[in-house]
Amino acid sequence: MEETLALLRAGKREELRKRAKDTLKKTKWDPESWFLMGMVAQHEGRLEYATECFERAIQIKSEAKYYRAKASVHMELFEFEEAIEDLHHALKISEDADSLFLIALCYLFLDSPEAGKHMKLAKKKDAARTNELLREFFLKFFKEDQSISEKAKRELWKKISS
């Protein structure tokens, strides 16, 4: 998944799309190609099609990363309950820090006390990865936010960097 994200960030959507389409011409039963198509569609903002692609991948092969990808679309649409459901499916397959972290974020947006519980579980599972995800989240959503004071940003950064 990291390779796919790196290619998307590098603007290589067409390369990924072509790779997936070429495989799907040969067989419609390749879950990784559906996953790639979903990632490209999500990156382009075609969220309904992305969801369909991830669902096809899941139907062919039940993998945690496919459920996490589908959950991320739900999160973009502010469908946090649906995202949590997909993430619980991912955890049944592989209990990983990424899924626990994403569940914590969903509960945070739902203003649920479950957020803290799942963040602690994520840190317990893999503290380094959870801290990395927290830093990425901060940089993406808070660093440039003008509504948050620089002092508050520094305090938040200190908390998540330690």
Interval 27-64: pLDDT, tens: 889 999 999 999 999 989 999 999 999 999 999 999 99
Q: What is the pLDDT of residue 117?
A: 95
- Please state the rounded mean pLDDT for residues 144-156: 81
- Average of per-residue pLDDT across 62-84: 97
d(CA 10, CA 56): 26
Task: Please give the C-alpha separations between residue 14 and each of 8, 41, 44, 152, in angstroms, as whole numbers.
Answer: 9, 11, 11, 41
pLDDT given for residue 162 in this prediction: 57
Residue 129 CA to residue 79 CA, distance in Å, equals 25
- What would the two tokens of residue 159 be? 């908390």
Q: Spell out the CATH class of 1-61.
A: mainly alpha
State the average pLDDT over residues 78-91: 98
Q: Give tens-digit pLDDT for 105-134.
A: 999 999 999 999 999 999 999 999 999 999
**pLDDT for residue 161 is more than 70:** no
Quick one: pLDDT band at residue 143, thresholds 50, 70, 90?
confident
Residue 69 pLDDT exceeds 70: yes
| Mean pLDDT within 54-82 | 97
pLDDT of residue 160 exceeding 80, the answer is no
**How much is the average pLDDT of 134-140?**
86
CB 50 within 8 A of CB 73: yes
Between 150 and 51, whose confidence is greater? 51
What is the structure's pLDDT at 81?
Answer: 98
